[in-house]
Amino acid sequence: MTARIIDGTAIAAAVRADVARQVEAHIAAGGRRPHLSVILVGDDPASHVYVRNKGRACEEAGMTSETIQRPATLTQQELLDEVARLNADPSVSGILVQMPLPQHLDELAVMSALSPKKDVDGLSPTSLGLLLQGVPAFAPATPSGVLEMLRREGIDPEGQRVVIVGRSVLVGRPLAMLLANKAPGANATVTLAHTGTRDLGAVTREADILVAAMGRPRAITADMVKPGAVVIDVGINQIDDASRKSGKRLVGDVDFEGVSAVASAITPVPGGVGPMTIAMLIVNTLAAAKGL
């Protein structure tokens, strides 16, 4: 068996094109052009790349965006004041505080300060609480991207056994809630496993759909995958590679070459879930602009 490659880059482009059409219809109907404000604190190189990509996606979808860059020495109160200003600005549809923040800043306090109506990353306590109740305002972008990817690939989780390896608040836990909802494109039987799970391979081999999101390079190997399973790799890890000019390359949490010989479908890294995260962020920003 050779797995079908799920092209996240192509699916994300289709999502962005759909959003662009909806943005123009929204404006033609008298709506305000959606605007995303991103707060970027410090000089983390990966964060700067992510923020640039988010800005490009907004522009492509006919939205406006701004990056509010602040030094790593920013105080907690200064950051909370910036969030409060954006909360009160009617021209701002969505707000995203790029993580991680410098260690001296309280991420939970910052996320708690976001207006639930503008929390387009869906990670504030209010947003996650609504998700747990099955009525999310804005679901987190990466889990939403996984569901949208499955939907567009014609992979229906209903009644299937889904195993998610990883329990983070960014991916694992919200994805488990979304997939367990009694709703179209969900209604799955979900197991939330992690690096502390005993005999992890025995658990993952039960999965019809296996999602790897633990942040360990190539941790999921072919012997841990049920033949014919769909494998979604959320991991992004940098490893040494002397054959590359940079000396580094990106790999996922799945041993792509080995697992591709066992799975029926698989997402690559890069080019899989990553582009979907940004695509779903602009979906949420449009919804915020509409007041949904």
- Report the catalytic residues: 54, 98, 121
Q: Which two tokens stand for residue 118?
A: 């503008």
**Type of residue numbered 248:** K
Find the DSSP H helices in the chain: 8-28, 45-60, 76-88, 107-113, 125-132, 141-152, 172-180, 200-204, 256-260, 273-290
Three-point CA angle 59, 63, 64, nearest 5°: 80
Q: What six digits make up the tokens of 223?
A: 């012997």
Task: Copy the structure tokens of residue 238.
Answer: 């940098």
Task: Report d(CA 56, CA 210) in Å as an integer.
Answer: 31
Torsion of CA 70, 75, 80, 84, to 10 degrees: -60
**Residue that the structure tokens 């998610």 belong to:** 164
Using alpha carbons, select from 9, 6, 15, 50 the residue that is nearest to residue 279.
Answer: 15
- Preceding amide of 34 cis, omega within 30: no
Let me know: does 148 contact 15? Beta carbons within 8 Å. Answer: yes
Three-class DSSP category at 41: strand
Omega before residue 143 within 30° of 0, cis: no
